[in-house]
Structure 1
């Protein structure tokens, strides 16, 4: 074995060891918290910013590989959620896309905490969802919005299904100091707009598409509840297929939950009660 090969082998073994150490430590932390026991300190303090980024990339690679048991994948997802929340950052080397350009000088739409721009990537139209940080003066509110945005990107990144709008990646430079989530541009827009222009569209097919997307979310391990199913968040592809979009309120849960937190238009948090799928309600 060559010197370079031995170095790579040693680095891989070291990274695997660190990954297992992090998974074990975070699992112990969760168990202690569940049992209302005190934990001497916050877990993973031995991870610096650079090491944490490397750890997130490794965890995402584990999730993308579809290898290992469901228990292992669940532990990896739980840990990467914790790191994203702690750092308010994402595994950049996997998610970042550079070759994207925006079109025009103004957004085409806006929501509570983000603006929507049209852009291009490799000659194809894309949607750029831009975190609205510049106009928010309150530092605490900015931190909350950024945390929610990172969480949306992380949850969205794990989803791959014909009736889920895919996340293509993230760009950190186009809208400095903010960043944007990149997804395919839907010329047909949302289902409400589409039905106005196409009143003869098969409604039964649309409902089947939406149900298939929701069923996929609920079948994840851990399950995911969208939290904001409505016409504006159901987009229509060029071939008339419905896709669920906007995972800003998505709730990753391991049990029945009827209470989540959302961001108001001013950036502050408020308590909301969502109408969840029947299978998540304890009667």
Structure 2
């Protein structure tokens, strides 16, 4: 069989069996042609075990890309097509693709071109919000107002690593789609060429706490927002995604007064050995998504589905009370957990009316000292629906 007659499945085998898989990618990719390229990705999409084998081999040899100088169109095109096929599939395939792409980011700054967008117009030269880790600018793209999140770069920061962290966040967010998740539009590398931005739709009402400030919302309104937050978090956990940075400052409200989860700079897939190592490698200077909240959560502490549940209970109290200092967000800190075992917050009240026992029991269950005993977000969502509106 000549090189010109290589079939897509044979190409996969060649990539898995060779000592230099990235060289084989380079050799075979143009030989396959567009139709067979798509067929190869279809094979990887349909065969989870084979896809995992390809990921393992390519990821293990990703440093070869530096030595082989394969930074050009061949590898980028391969990753673009593989990425577009795999990230549309189930969570296992999505994780495989994500981990490979993060590995390529760390090894040689290769990222799918599909995460980038162009023609974003800046509406105001000055940032409309200044945070510790990022500034937010207002722009316009394709007929809608957008927000540009530009990471802050301080003296001594590793600029390359900050940009890699931005791309890592994009790789996670582009695979998410839910009514209560802030949509990801892309990375804009043109408006600020030396400092690319994450672009999302503009949110008129800012954060949920800003939305509630200065007025007396009804229990029905507050419960509705909390139910939407729970729905968004349950969706993330069904995708095996840990948010890792949930707080009132990272929940936005759109023009129709619906809650949208944001702040995904510390997000990652649960139950993967390299989640924390990836995070440590890429996000030390890329933290709280333009807000000053939750800065106690550092990269050295584990983030899990259970820690998200703990954080959700804190958010519940924040929205209930309408203020951000009602609870301590240091939910991954062992000392804080020991304090909570000794003395939990008392059952709160709002305008003289105590929170219902059913709701308070749900919140306390989210703070169980043993993370394995906390309810799942799907359990929480079901319990909230059973409790019903107006029962805070």
Same fold (TM over 0.5): yes
* 2:230 aligns with one of 211, 228, 231: 211
Give the C-alpha shift of residue 132 in structure 1. 2.7
Equivalent residues in 2 for 1:44-55 (5 A)? 45=65, 48-50=70-72, 51-55=74-78
Query: How far, CA to CA, are the matches of 1:265 and 1:74 in structure 2?
Result: 22
Alpha-carbon shift at residue 54 of structure 1 (Å): 1.4
Q: CA deviation at 1:186?
A: 0.4
Where do 5+ consecutive residues of structure 2 fail to align? 1-29, 45-49, 289-297, 311-365, 374-392
Question: CA offset at residue 17 of structure 1?
Answer: 4.8
Question: Residue 177 of structure 1 corresponds to which residue in structure 2?
Answer: 194
1:139-166 Cα deviation digits (max 9, x unpaired): 6x22332222111111111110000000
1:271 and 2:300 are equivalent in the alignment: yes
**Cα distance between partner residues in 1 of 2:233 and 2:162:** 25
**Is the 8 Å Cα contact of residues 118 and 125 (structure 1) preserved in structure 2?**
yes
Distance 1:174 1:276, change over 3 A: same
Shift of 1:119: 0.7
1:127 aligns with 2:127: no
Deviation at 1:8, TM superposition (A): 9.9
Q: Which runs of 4+ in 1 moved over 6 A?
A: 256-260
Structure having the higher strand fraction is 1
Q: Secondary structure at the match of 1:143?
A: helix
Contact 1:206 1:242 in 2 (8 A): yes
Which structure: larger Rg?
A: 2
Q: Secondary structure at the match of 1:49?
A: coil
Residues 52, 83 of structure 1: 8 Å contact kept: no
Indicate if the aligned counterparts of 2:98 and 2:172 stay in contact, CA closer than 8 A: no
Aligned position for 1:35 = none
RMSD: 3.5
- Give, in angstroms, the shift of residue 70 of structure 1: 5.4
Structure 1 residues 26, 265: CA separation in 2 closer, same or farther (over 3 Å shift)?
closer
Look up the match of 1:241: 258
The 8 Å contact of residues 63 and 76 in structure 1, kept in 2 or not, is answered as yes
C-alpha displacement at 1:11, in angstroms?
3.5
Residue number in structure 1 paired with 2:344: none
- Aligned partner of 2:216 in structure 1 is 199
Task: Sort the Cα spacing of 1:207 and 1:170 in 2 relative to 1 into closer, same or farther, 3 A.
Answer: same
What's the offset of the Cα at 1:218? 0.5
The 8 Å contact of residues 217 and 225 in structure 1, kept in 2 or not, is answered as yes
Q: Where do 5+ consecutive residues of structure 1 fail to align?
A: 1-6, 31-38
1:56-135 equivalences under 5 Å are 56-63=79-86, 65-66=88-89, 71-92=92-113, 94-133=114-153
Q: Is contact 2:133-2:286 (8 Å) kept? A: yes
Q: Distance in 2 between matches of 1:117 and 1:203?
A: 28
Query: In the alignment, what sits opposite 1:3?
Result: none
1:138 is matched with 156
Alpha-carbon separation, structure 2, partners of 1:277 and 1:184? 27
Q: Distance in 1 between matches of 2:78 and 2:69?
A: 9
Q: CA deviation at 1:86?
A: 2.6
Greater helix fraction, Structure 1 or Structure 2: 2
Query: Any idea what SS the aligned residue of 2:300 has?
Result: strand
8 Å contact from structure 1 (residues 85, 151) kept in 2: no
Q: Matches of 1:42 and 1:87 in 2, distance apart?
A: 8
